[in-house]
Amino acid sequence: MPEYKQFPLSDTAEGLTEADILAWRVKPGDTVTVNQIVVEVETAKAAVELPIPWAGVVTELHVEPGQTVEVGTPILTMDVDPDGKAAPAAAAPAAAESAAAAPAEEEMKPLVGYGSKAAGTTRRARKHPNVALGASDATNATLGASHAPNATLGQPPAQAEPAAPRGGYVPLAKPPVRKLAKDLGVDLHSLTGSADGGVITREDVHRAANGSAAPAVSTVESGYDPATRERRVPIKGVRKATAAAMVQSAYTAPHVTEFLTIDVTPMMELREKLKKSREFSGVKLTPLAFAAKAVCLAAKRTPDVNAVWDEAAQEIVYKDYVHLGIAAATPRGLVVPKIRDADSLSLKELAVALTELTDVAREGKTTPAAMLGGTFTITNVGVFGVDTGTPIINPGESAILAVGAIRDTPWVVDGEIKVRKVMQLSLSFDHRVVDGQQGSEFLADVGALLADPAVAITY
């Protein structure tokens, strides 16, 4: 007989509590293999593709694209024994007992690279949508954020609202609301949600069931209201996480920003020379690579900028490594992936790492793990033609450098005015950790290295 299992939304990075469903890669009736990608979700850190740990046939999708789902919530049901080759029903109790005794990690073991870190981390109990199960099996289904093994279900779950869109329109509603609509015989496709983003609520379903007209709402599914000519977009995913981080930093760390204008003509000349060399053949050597190298060298002379304030322990933590964050603009918002141990890399290695990092970020494929644990950040506002700015420090760090556009500018050289390649730098730092002297020395060192790369041999 069929054996049904439910696939819960896993914790793709330690500490995440929810994710938005972006797109399903499967539909009911599809046959899937172990570790096949079945869904793409967007967490507070990145877009992530999730593989399924079993082979079988998809029987039901519990959530629609656009919905926000808590970690541990079942999002898919599948038949892992569609050919009926499983053990007889009489053996089911023993199998269930054995499954209950197995560690939860064994059930999700094939999900290599996903899930929270080792056990010992406890989470608060979560409320989960009511997934309709066969009456005799409702008490046997094990759900929860701990990803406990799923009990074998004796019959398939009751089918909820079809996941396939009708005419391209997918109604947005949480699983409990979908179940309510099914129980009351209400077609969700005929409703306009009253919640933000056009999400259908329980009240919308009850009004439809009672024959009442839904109240006028200022936002339709697209979020645009022709009457006011305004568009509302729900705050979630990367944008929500970025906003929270920036507010936390701005109102926690006392920011100081300093500015420096430098002549980088020697750096640009060296760049052109290196681009023609055999060693840098095929390497995209940008001014940002020189800035990254300068930051790593200067941080060794002023370790304060690579330290962090630990409020809980009342300590300043100095780090003997540089995990360099590079702010990257993506269609989903700002992300800051890291170059690990950037201080140990050569200029060429940094250039290669920067190219790979930014390409992955712009494709929206940066993993959550790649954005954790930074010690210093560079934001390159120059690519937008901007001269400078007052960047906000990333939480968990103490400084951030903004690199401006390089422009042909009149500059005094040996008493004469000449046209030179000039750029501006701005450094924001946490004044609890970095004093004005240290911040100024660091910025001056970075500027000196960019103005004359030969200075690097003295470090």
Look up residue 160 and give its DSSP letter.
-
In sequence order, which residues have a C-beta less than 8 Å from that of residue 97 and are 6 or more positions away?
A: none
Residues annotated catalytic, as ranges:
431
Residue whose pair of structure tokens reads 């009911």 in the numeric block: 28
Measure CA of the first residue to CA of the last residue in the chain; give whole Å. 72
Burial degree of 276 (CB within 10 A; 0-12, 13-18, 19+):
exposed
Contact status, residue 335 vs residue 10, Cβ threshold 8 Å: no
Tell me the CA distances in angstroms from 54 to 12, 61, 294, one per residue in order.
Answer: 18, 15, 48
Per-residue tokens: 197: 């983003």
- Looking at the DSSP assignment, which residues form a beta bridge with residue 47? 42
Query: H/E element holding 418?
Result: strand 416-430
Distance between CA atoms of 23 and 20, rounded to whole angstroms? 9
Distance CA 104, CA 158 (A): 26
At position 12, the amino acid (one-letter code) is T
CA atoms within 13 A on the CB side of 179: 13
* CB count in 10 Å sphere of residue 275: 12
Q: Which amino acid is at 210?
A: N
Contact by Cβ (8 Å): 79, 156: yes
Q: What is the DSSP letter of 180?
A: H
| CA nearest neighbour of 136 among 152, 116, 119 | 152
The span from the CA of 259 to the CA of 417, in Å, is 23
Best CA proximity match to 235, nearest among 15, 20, 13, 12? 20
